[in-house]
Amino acid sequence: MSETVFRNGRLVLRDGVAAGRLCVRRGRIADVEANGGACRAAVRAPGPAGTPGNGAVVDLEGDFLLPGLVELHTDNLESHLMPRPGVVWPSSLAALLSHDAQIAGAGITTVLDSLCVGEPLHGSQRKALLAMALDGLDALDRADAADAAHAGTDGGVSAGTNGASLLRSEHLLHLRCEVADPDAPEILADHLAHPRLTLVSVMDHTPGQRQWTDLDKYRVFHRRQAGDAAFDRAIDEHRARHERHAEENRAAILGLCRERGLRTASHDDTLPEHVRQACAEGIAVSEFPTTLEAARAAHQGGMRVVMGAPNVVRSGSHSGNVSARELARAGFLDVLSSDYLPASLLCAAFDLAREPGVELHEAVAMVTAVPARAVGLADRGELAVGQRADLVRVRMVEDLPVVRGVWRAGRRVC
């Protein structure tokens, strides 16, 4: 189709929500008409004003039309590669495609697959999962390139924007570096040139600090009881690795990222000192600060504050840390991430819009435009002329936002 017109919808724009229509042409938003033309832009699709050109018409029947969601941090791929502890799925390609279908079904059109570089404890198998995930992505790129060559088009990572990709959503990489692992800098160096790499974060899951200041919560998360001698020895080993490697590795990892011009994030900032260190290192994103004080310091330092969407939906952190809703009320929340549950991202945006002082378009920006800009993606995240036509149709069923259609670069994928 040369053109698709979406009409009779409620458009969630960057500055508000308005009834209107939107026209897509060649994978981009060509025209936005809201409130009788107040948002009409200079670039216009063919045909007289107010009428579609030659193409498809989608009647939204009063549903919301949102920009495609942008996800900066999800562990969901790892859960498909290893669906049970110690159970590695035989095909990384099958695991990746299953993950992709779940991501697209949640309305996420751009996802930074969050993969661990290094392990918090020996035997977690996350190094193997990283290799499997990259093998699966590379296999899909080869398949896309072969299909594109056969069709006489360009292949590669961007093939999906013209309909050639086997993936429904666009998959980029967020490599999460466990600074206490002695091998983390070397592993990262091996993957710095990967074409999908978009974000690198430094994290430290050593028990007794940052996310796991409360050791009782740490035991509950790992399903261990106090007095478990083997588990206690593992905690001691982890702390010893932290003392030997964390500071040196953090500096090495951030140095590699500066050399490549890669964007970086900190993880689980707890104290204002953590934030001050991150700001001094040139880190622009604070993921999942665990306290109000850390979030305040990050906000005042100009960092983008990312919190978990499950935290919003559950009205609290599973590890006893600060509430994302509390940060939103204080004005310290910029971005939401689905973390471990893709479906939570859309739900959290609509839930957050019920908080005093938070409008729907502001909450939607936390899962679209703001995360996109935080990692340098200027071509998506808004219903605006010239933006890539990544779109999500949403209907409210009671208080639940339900995805009824997803388009990436104007092509329906779900």
Output the average pLDDT for the chain.
87
More confident residue, 238 or 322: 322
Q: What is the pLDDT of residue 320?
A: 77
Which residue did the predictor score with more confidence, 23 or 241? 23
Q: Write the pLDDT tens digit of every residue in 208-229.
A: 565 655 555 565 555 555 566 7
Collapsing DSSP to helix, strand or coil, 178 comes out as strand
Name the β-bridge partners of 64: 10, 394
Mean pLDDT in residue range 366-376: 98
The confidence score (pLDDT) of residue 278 equals: 97
- Give SS3 for 277: helix
Residues 49, 174: Cα–Cα separation, whole Å: 43
pLDDT at 42 over 60: no
Find the mean pLDDT for residues 159-188. 85
Phi, psi of 169 (to 5 degrees): -100, 160
Residue 126 confidence (pLDDT) above 90 = no
CB neighbours of 66 closer than 8 A, spacing ≥ 6? 12, 107, 364, 368, 383, 391, 392, 393, 394
Higher-confidence residue: 145 or 13? 13
* 105-119, 220-234, 236-250: least confident range: 220-234
pLDDT of residue 321: 86
DSSP 197: E
> Is a pLDDT exceeding 50 seen at residue 48?
no
Q: What is the pLDDT of residues 258-280, one digit of tens each?
A: 999 999 999 999 999 999 999 99
More confident residue, 51 or 320: 320
- Which ranges constitute the DSSP H helices of 8-155? 76-81, 92-105, 126-151
Fold exhibited by the domain 68-380: TIM Barrel (3.20.20)
pLDDT tens track for 192-210: 999 999 999 999 866 656 5
Percent of the chain with pLDDT over 70: 83
Q: What is the pLDDT of residues 381-409, one digit of tens each?
A: 999 999 999 999 999 999 999 999 999 99
What pLDDT sits at residue 402? 98
Mean pLDDT score, 354-373: 97
pLDDT at residue 103 is higher than 90: yes
Q: What is the per-residue pLDDT for 125?
A: 73
Query: What residues does each domain of the chain span?
Result: 3-59, 68-380
Cα–Cα distance between 366 and 320 in angstroms, integer? 23
Per mean pLDDT, which range of 21-30, 137-146, 166-175, 259-268 is the poorest? Answer: 137-146
**Distance of alpha carbon 305 from alpha carbon 295, whole angstroms:** 7
Rounded CA separation 136/176 (Å): 18
pLDDT of residue 219: 57
378 pLDDT band (50/70/90 cuts)?
A: very high
Query: Quick check: 51 pLDDT over 50?
Result: no
Q: How confident is the model at residue 322 (pLDDT cuts 50, 70, 90)?
A: very high
Predicted confidence (pLDDT) at residue 41 exceeds the cutoff of 70: no
Amino acid in position 39: C
Question: Which of 33, 30, 27 lies closest to 8, judged by CA?
Answer: 33
pLDDT of residue 222: 53
Q: Give the pLDDT of residue 49.
A: 36
Long-range contacts of 226-233 (CB under 8 A, 24+ apart): none
